[in-house]
Protein backbone atom coordinates (compact mmCIF):
# COMPACT_ATOMS: atom_id res chain seq x y z
CA UNK A 1 0.00 0.00 0.00
CA UNK A 2 1.24 3.46 -0.89
CA UNK A 3 2.39 5.65 1.97
CA UNK A 4 -0.15 8.44 2.35
CA UNK A 5 1.80 10.54 4.85
CA UNK A 6 2.18 14.15 3.68
CA UNK A 7 -0.40 13.77 0.90
CA UNK A 8 -3.07 16.47 0.71
CA UNK A 9 -6.81 16.02 0.36
CA UNK A 10 -10.00 18.01 -0.09
CA UNK A 11 -13.16 16.46 1.35
CA UNK A 12 -16.41 18.22 0.52
CA UNK A 13 -19.08 17.86 3.18
CA UNK A 14 -16.27 17.00 5.57
CA UNK A 15 -17.75 18.41 8.74
CA UNK A 16 -20.02 15.51 9.71
CA UNK A 17 -21.12 12.00 8.80
CA UNK A 18 -19.15 10.06 6.21
CA UNK A 19 -17.11 13.12 5.25
CA UNK A 20 -15.94 13.62 8.83
CA UNK A 21 -15.21 9.90 9.25
CA UNK A 22 -13.15 9.98 6.05
CA UNK A 23 -11.28 13.09 7.21
CA UNK A 24 -10.44 11.49 10.56
CA UNK A 25 -9.27 8.28 8.87
CA UNK A 26 -7.11 10.28 6.46
CA UNK A 27 -5.62 12.33 9.31
CA UNK A 28 -4.65 9.13 11.11
CA UNK A 29 -2.69 8.21 7.96
CA UNK A 30 -0.86 11.56 8.05
CA UNK A 31 -2.79 13.24 5.23
CA UNK A 32 -3.18 17.03 5.41
CA UNK A 33 -6.81 17.96 4.84
CA UNK A 34 -9.10 20.72 3.68
CA UNK A 35 -12.73 20.12 4.51
CA UNK A 36 -15.67 22.06 3.17
CA UNK A 37 -19.22 22.60 4.28
CA UNK A 38 -21.97 25.16 4.67
CA UNK A 39 -21.94 25.39 8.47
CA UNK A 40 -18.82 27.14 9.77
CA UNK A 41 -19.24 26.00 13.37
CA UNK A 42 -19.40 22.36 12.27
CA UNK A 43 -16.37 22.44 9.94
CA UNK A 44 -14.36 24.51 12.41
CA UNK A 45 -14.95 21.93 15.17
CA UNK A 46 -13.95 19.08 12.84
CA UNK A 47 -10.76 20.92 11.85
CA UNK A 48 -9.85 21.17 15.54
CA UNK A 49 -10.21 17.38 15.85
CA UNK A 50 -8.06 16.86 12.76
CA UNK A 51 -5.32 19.18 13.99
CA UNK A 52 -5.26 17.28 17.28
CA UNK A 53 -4.15 14.25 15.22
CA UNK A 54 -1.06 16.15 14.11
CA UNK A 55 -1.92 17.09 10.53
CA UNK A 56 -2.44 20.40 8.80
CA UNK A 57 -6.18 20.98 8.53
CA UNK A 58 -8.10 23.89 7.06
CA UNK A 59 -11.69 24.55 6.09
CA UNK A 60 -13.75 26.57 3.63
CA UNK A 61 -17.41 27.46 3.95
CA UNK A 62 -19.33 27.43 0.68
CA UNK A 63 -22.13 25.73 -1.23
CA UNK A 64 -20.80 23.21 -3.78
CA UNK A 65 -23.88 23.88 -5.90
CA UNK A 66 -22.88 27.50 -6.53
CA UNK A 67 -20.09 27.65 -9.12
CA UNK A 68 -18.82 31.13 -8.24
CA UNK A 69 -18.40 30.07 -4.59
CA UNK A 70 -16.62 26.86 -5.63
CA UNK A 71 -14.17 28.69 -7.91
CA UNK A 72 -13.18 31.13 -5.17
CA UNK A 73 -12.94 28.58 -2.36
CA UNK A 74 -11.03 25.87 -4.24
CA UNK A 75 -8.49 28.45 -5.42
CA UNK A 76 -8.02 29.62 -1.81
CA UNK A 77 -7.66 26.04 -0.54
CA UNK A 78 -5.02 25.18 -3.14
CA UNK A 79 -3.17 28.44 -2.45
CA UNK A 80 -3.08 27.65 1.27
CA UNK A 81 -2.62 23.87 1.26
CA UNK A 82 -0.69 23.39 -1.97
CA UNK A 83 -1.04 20.65 -4.55
CA UNK A 84 -4.00 18.38 -3.86
CA UNK A 85 -3.41 14.64 -4.23
CA UNK A 86 -6.85 13.35 -3.22
CA UNK A 87 -10.35 14.70 -3.84
CA UNK A 88 -13.38 13.22 -2.07
CA UNK A 89 -16.64 14.63 -3.43
CA UNK A 90 -18.77 13.75 -0.43
CA UNK A 91 -21.14 16.74 -0.13
CA UNK A 92 -24.72 15.86 -0.88
CA UNK A 93 -28.31 16.44 0.09
CA UNK A 94 -31.45 14.30 0.03
CA UNK A 95 -35.17 14.72 0.31
CA UNK A 96 -37.76 12.45 1.85
CA UNK A 97 -41.01 11.70 0.08
CA UNK A 98 -42.25 10.35 -3.19
CA UNK A 99 -40.85 11.54 -6.48
CA UNK A 100 -44.28 12.66 -7.70
CA UNK A 101 -44.94 14.74 -4.61
CA UNK A 102 -41.49 16.36 -4.47
CA UNK A 103 -41.53 20.04 -5.40
CA UNK A 104 -39.50 20.84 -8.51
CA UNK A 105 -37.38 23.24 -6.46
CA UNK A 106 -36.26 20.43 -4.13
CA UNK A 107 -35.35 18.18 -7.06
CA UNK A 108 -33.45 21.03 -8.71
CA UNK A 109 -31.50 21.73 -5.50
CA UNK A 110 -30.55 18.04 -5.16
CA UNK A 111 -29.28 17.95 -8.75
CA UNK A 112 -27.43 21.23 -8.27
CA UNK A 113 -25.69 19.98 -5.12
CA UNK A 114 -25.21 16.27 -5.81
CA UNK A 115 -24.39 16.37 -9.52
CA UNK A 116 -23.29 19.87 -10.44
CA UNK A 117 -21.45 20.33 -7.13
CA UNK A 118 -19.29 17.30 -7.83
CA UNK A 119 -18.60 18.59 -11.34
CA UNK A 120 -17.76 22.12 -10.16
CA UNK A 121 -15.33 21.02 -7.44
CA UNK A 122 -13.61 18.45 -9.67
CA UNK A 123 -13.33 20.95 -12.54
CA UNK A 124 -11.78 23.63 -10.36
CA UNK A 125 -9.39 21.24 -8.62
CA UNK A 126 -8.04 20.03 -11.95
CA UNK A 127 -8.04 23.48 -13.58
CA UNK A 128 -5.74 24.78 -10.86
CA UNK A 129 -3.06 22.06 -10.86
Residue 21, domain CATH: 3.40.50.720
In-domain check, residue 2: no
Integer Cα distance of 127 and 123 in angstroms: 6
Structural domain harbouring 117: 8-127
Q: Please report which confidence band the pLDDT of residue 1 belongs to, taking 50, 70 and 90 as the band edges.
A: very low
In-domain check, residue 73: yes
**pLDDT, tens only, 91-124:** 999 988 888 889 999 999 999 999 999 999 999 9
In-domain check, residue 3: no
Q: What is the pLDDT of residue 50?
A: 98
**pLDDT, tens only, 32-43:** 999 999 999 999
Q: What is the pTM of this model?
A: 0.93
In-domain check, residue 81: yes
Domain count, the chain: 1
Is residue 24 pLDDT above 90, yes or no? yes
Amino acid sequence: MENLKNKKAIITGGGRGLGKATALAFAKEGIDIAITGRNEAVVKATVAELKALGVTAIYAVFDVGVYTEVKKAIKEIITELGTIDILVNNAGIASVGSFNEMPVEEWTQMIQTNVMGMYYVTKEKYCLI
